[in-house]
Structures are given as structure tokens and as C-alpha cells.
Amino acid sequence: MAIALRKPAEIEKLRAANKIVGGALELMRANTKVGASLKDLDAMGEDYIRSHGAKPSFKGLYGFPNSVCCSLNEVIIHGIPTDYKLQEGDIIGYDIGTELEGYFGDAAITAAVGKISKHDEDMIACAKDTLYHAISEIKAGMRFKELSLIIEKFIISRGFMPLHDFCGHGIGKQPHEEPQIPNYLNGHNAKAGPKIKDGMVFCLEPMICQKDSKPIILENKWDVVSADGLRGSHYEHTVAVINGKAEILSLA
């Protein structure tokens, strides 16, 4: 299936959907405090999305039961909110999707609860810094596989590993579209596969493991952890390629 090229008016619709995601994530970060329950945070995120005229696009997507992925400590992505109350030293990933007038938004952050270890600080910074580095390197004409290699090299340079088998993706009139964008080079040739072009809109989402890239899906069929059983982190933005460079759409 071809990768969609969006007209400027469509990119503005995607920006509107993504701006709500960015605002919801800022709200989640501000309320990441000792004693906050994951279910209450999920409800807060959903209320914010609906109050801004959008729908929480993750609710019911592929059967996901909630509006916000709340990925606690060892859970890297797709965490289901529970009654758990945040404790000092926890880290929590929030991944939020919206639908506004038939266009989708998607972004994620990992936040600290109170004071966390230096190692966890470094791991969260790895996800965030990888994301912004990759975005800064995007140019029309480069291949998506080259972008995947840039992401992989940056993660490894920080002493961490990319989670395998999950990836960034196109986004537009569906929450997940072509292409798939792994956080590592799939195969040996970065000069193969589709090229990045003006008008493409996609999500980059570095998912960080400590020692083992292999994912394990837990019994609830959603929570994804690393085979090493250690904590992980996750950051994501939706970007549009405009005038040859990537512009972030998912800022508040």
C-alpha cells in the first residue's frame, strides 16, 4: 500500500488532532505525583480529549480497554491502567491517541514520579533525545531505513537497546498507516525501501530497553516488557515533512 502524501489542509487537520494529544500529555505530566492512581490519570486524559472536541482513539482500538496507555516501570508500551497508585521512584509512560474530524493524533512521554535514580533519568533521556535527534535528521529524499539506522545508532550510543518487533508508523485518516518505522535497521541495507517525501506524516517512537531487545507480552495481552525484566522508556511525536524537513505536530 502506498504511503499517503497529505495536502497542506490535511496536515492542518492532523496538527489540530495532535495539538490535543500534546495538551493531554502535558496534563498527565503535571499530575504525575505520588498517590495518583493509573485509572484516575486515564480518566483525566480522556476528559481532556473529549472536552477539546476529540475522541480518545485508543479506546476500543484492537480491543484496548482504556484511553491512555499507562506503562509503569518495566512496562515499555501498551500498559493498561490499573488501580495502582504511583510511588516515589516510579517511572510511567503515557501514550495518547486522538481522533478529530476524521484525522488522528498520537504521541507519548515517559515521566518521573518524584526523585528517580540517575540510571532511570538517563534511560528516559535516551528515549527523548533519540526522538529529537531523529526528527532533526529527517530530510526529504532519505529512506525510512536510513532513519531507522539513525535511531538505532543513537540508542546504542547511550548504552541502551531498541525494543524489537514494535515500531513507529504512518498516521492520517487511520491511527496506523504505512510505513512501519522500526527503531533499528531491519536487514542490512539502509539504502533500500521507500523514500521520505514532502507531505508524509508519521510517528517516530523510540522504545528503550536496557539489556535485551526481545519483547514479552504479559498475561493481560497488552503490557509489553523486555526479556531482561528491567525498566524501559518511550517517547513519541507525530511529524509532517514540510519543505524537505520534519515539523512536529504533537506539541501542546
The per-residue pLDDT string of the chain (252 residues; one tens digit each, 9 = 90 and over) reads 699 999 999 999 999 999 999 999 999 999 999 999 999 999 999 999 999 999 999 999 999 999 999 999 999 999 999 999 999 999 999 999 999 999 999 999 999 999 999 999 999 999 999 999 999 999 999 999 999 999 999 999 999 999 999 999 999 999 999 999 999 999 899 999 999 999 999 999 999 999 999 999 999 999 999 999 999 999 999 999 999 999 999 999
In 3-state terms, what secondary structure has residue 167? strand
For residues 198 and 66, the answer to whether their CB atoms sit within 8 Å is: no
Residue with cell 512501519: 180
Pairwise CA distance, residues 174 & 104, whole Å = 6
For residues 238 and 138, the answer to whether their CB atoms sit within 8 Å is: no
In 3-state terms, what secondary structure has residue 161? strand
* Domain boundaries along the sequence of the chain: 8-248
- pTM for the structure as a whole: 0.97
Residue with cell 515539523: 247
Q: What is the CATH number of domain 8-248?
A: 3.90.230.10
Pairwise CA distance, residues 218 & 225, whole Å = 7
Residue with cell 541502551: 160
Tell me the longest C-alpha to C-alpha distance in the chain: 49
Pairwise CA distance, residues 128 & 109, whole Å = 8
